[in-house]
Amino acid sequence: MSRNFAGHDAGHDAGSAQQHDAGLYATIFRRRDVRASFTGAPVPDEVMRRVLSAAHGAPSVGLSQPWDFILVESERTRASFWKHVQQEREAFAETLPPDRAELFARIKIEGIRESSLGVVVTYDSSRGDPGVLGRHAIADAGLYSVCLAVQNLWLAATAENLGVGWVSFYREAFLQELLGIPSGVRPVAWLCIGAVSHLERVPDLERHGWRSRLALEEVVHSERWGEHVSALTQGAT
Amino acid sequence: MSRNFAGHDAGHDAGSAQQHDAGLYATIFRRRDVRASFTGAPVPDEVMRRVLSAAHGAPSVGLSQPWDFILVESERTRASFWKHVQQEREAFAETLPPDRAELFARIKIEGIRESSLGVVVTYDSSRGDPGVLGRHAIADAGLYSVCLAVQNLWLAATAENLGVGWVSFYREAFLQELLGIPSGVRPVAWLCIGAVSHLERVPDLERHGWRSRLALEEVVHSERWGEHVSALTQGAT
């Protein structure tokens, strides 16, 4: 009922605070969107199994599990995709004012060829249809499920000391054609995944001065939009 | 290059397999979509800080961080939302054939009033605009980022021994009006979050016979759509 989130502190259920899983948080904050530090070393089969099992263990609307994962190692396929991405990079650069275009020119946006493999994640809206429980009012709920799987994959890969980079400089129709994805299935992500020399401590885009991270209190509201929670970040992780 | 994923096994980088973070996987597989086991006990402020920090630590397209989190504790607001969700539940039930409708009638779909609080997660497409890096070709990439934040929140809550349940039986316009969300901002999720008596081992919808989990190999392809990876699940987690 209180708008001041600090009001929550007093004495309830404090035990769980001691039990919290520092390892999970460490993985969450260590995770980076990797472009430049891939080594190209192969990822062992059993590691990929674990990472994909984590993705497949994500929640999904109506237990529809509408995701698929296409593992792309072919150098030819990756070269085709890379070429397309360069074109889209140029298309984006042309929309920028000169100072931003100059900054953008220095930022690496993908590790398609240097990563160990690509994992293309797709959304199949027909899975579990008709009657997907929880999707009649929000058609995009199935798409949301696919993204939850992506984040599980990303964290699992991070815990395995792998890097992941999400590439979104592409046209969906191009990727569909390239990998023979049926028309009812939508590509959601090309994830570069693989062994890395290191993970950066600061996100690339922040390091390059493209954009900064927001403080937590800027994005938390109490009860209604616009009622900010001033005390929230005191003592934050 | 190989279509048979088992071909990966031989001898590369096997060290990382030993280093993998069992705790992360345990959290990923323990996580459930909770409806029935909320106790209503308050969540301490510092726990919510950690959980929201985890969400806010998610990757986002162009580092746009397009998410907001509205913490809803008001009983009045929750009662209004609950009533709306009941209507949408009925609307969905009417679309089902008799046997599915009968099964659906036994399935609890939300814990809006019993959970400790609601966290409404939204997408603000104007954040970082114009020129969000990585979104010019795929407008939904911003929406995808918001879902990555949801999964971080979900896992962090699980690690804190809390339950989370995503409610999607609502019309976005209703929720927007209820919480005063501006027209350019889109509600993505109402998450019920809170202390729980326990987490189920098997997802509710599987336990009720609504739908089953798929085997991993059904959703993994090699190089192109439709080329399945037969050896993948041998020895899977």
Residue whose C-alpha is closest to residue B105's, from A119, A34, A133, A196: A133
Indicate the SS3 state at residue A127.
coil
Q: Exposure of B157 by Cβ count < 10 A (0-12 exposed, 13-18 middle, 19+ buried)?
A: buried
Residues of chain B above pLDDT 90, percent: 86
pLDDT at A231 over 80: no
Give the CA radius of gyration of chain B. 20
Instruction: Between A233 and A59, name the one with better pLDDT.
Output: A59
Residue type at A127? R
Check residue B162 and give its pLDDT. Answer: 98
Q: Given a cut of 80, is residue B20 above it in pLDDT?
A: no
Closest by Cβ to A147, choosing from B122, B144, B162: B144
- Per-residue confidence (pLDDT) for residue B235, from 0 to 100: 45
Interface pTM (ipTM) of the complex?
0.91
Q: How far is A83 from chain B (nearest CA, A)?
A: 15
User: Quick check: B104 and A133 CB within 8 A?
Assistant: yes
Please tell me the distance in Å from B78's CA to the nearest CA on chain A.
10
Q: What residues in B contact A121, CB-CB < 8 Å?
A: none
Residues B153-170: pLDDT tens digits? 999 999 999 999 999 999
Asked whether B162 and B51 are in contact (CB, 8 A), the reply is: yes
pLDDT: which is higher, B34 or B22: B34
Question: Whole-number mean pLDDT of chain B?
Answer: 91
Minimum CA–CA partner of B131 in chain A: A96
Interface test with B, best of A168, A210, A216 (most B CBs within 10 A): A168
Nearest CA in chain A to B16: A160
Chain A residues in contact with B136 by the CB 8 A cut-off are: 88, 91-92, 95, 169
Give the tens place of pLDDT for each residue, A185-213: 999 999 999 999 999 999 999 999 999 99
Locate the chain A residue with the closest alpha carbon to B7: A45
pLDDT for the residue numbered A232 = 61
Which ranges of A108-171 does DSSP label H, i.e. alpha helix? Answer: 141-159
Q: Is B192 helix (H, G, I), strand (E, B) or coil?
A: strand
Nearest to B45 among A5, A19, A20 (CB): A5
pLDDT of B38 higher than 80: yes
The owner of tokens 């985890």 is: B54
Q: Is the peptide bond before A130 cis (omega within 30 degrees of 0)?
A: yes
- pLDDT surpasses 80 at A17: no
Taking CB atoms and an 8 Å limit, are A236 and B49 in contact across chains? yes
Q: Which of B56, B86, B164, B217 to mutate to test the interface with A (most CBs of A within 10 A)?
A: B56
Interface probe, candidates B221, B228, B233, B234, chain A, greatest A C-beta count within 10 A: B221
- The average pLDDT across B131-157 equals 98
Q: Which of B99, B211, B214, B228 to mutate to test the interface with A (most CBs of A within 10 A)?
A: B211
If you write DSSP's letter for every residue of A58-117 in order, what string do you get? S--GGG---EEEEEE--HHHHHHHHHHHHHHHHHHHTTS-HHHHHHHHT-----TTTSSE
**Amino acid A223: pLDDT:** 98
What is the spatial distance between Cα B144 and Cα B133, in angstroms, rounded to a whole number? Answer: 14
A97-156 confidence digits (pLDDT tens): 999 999 999 999 999 999 999 999 999 999 999 999 999 999 999 999 999 999 999 999
Cβ of A216 within 8 Å of Cβ of B160? The answer is no
Among candidates A45, A58, A221 on the partner chain, residue whose Cβ is nearest the Cβ of B68: A221
Helix (H, G, I), strand (E, B) or coil at A55: helix
**Chain B CA closest to residue A68:** B219
B14 contacts on A by Cβ (under 8 Å): 44
Round to the nearest angstrom and report the end-to-end CA distance of chain B: 25
Model pTM?
Answer: 0.92
Residues of A in contact with B151 (CB under 8 A): 58, 147-148, 151-152
* C-alpha–C-alpha distance, residues B213 and B218, integer Å: 10
Beta strands B220-222 and A67-72, pairing class: parallel
Contacts of B115 (CB under 8 A, 6+ apart): B34, B38, B40, B163, B165, B192, B193, B194
Residues of A in contact with B162 (CB under 8 A): 16
Q: Do A42 and B12 touch (CB under 8 A)?
A: yes
* Dihedral, CA of residue B85, residue B91, residue B93 and residue B96, to nearest 10: -140
Residue located via tokens 């739908």: B211
Return d(Cα A121, Cα A150) in angstroms, integer.
Answer: 8
Q: Which residues of B touch A213 (CB under 8 A)?
A: 63, 65
Q: Which residues of B touch A202 (CB under 8 A)?
A: none
- Shortest CA distance from A70: residue in chain B: B221
Which chain A residues have a beta carbon less than 8 Å from that of B77?
223
Size of interface A-B (CB pairs under 8 A): 384
pLDDT above 90 as % of chain A: 86
| Three-state SS letters, B74-123 | CHHHHHHHHHHHHHHHHHHHCCCCHHHHHHHHCCCCCCCCCCCEEEEEEE
Q: Which residue of chain A comes nearest to B29, CA vs CA?
A: A57
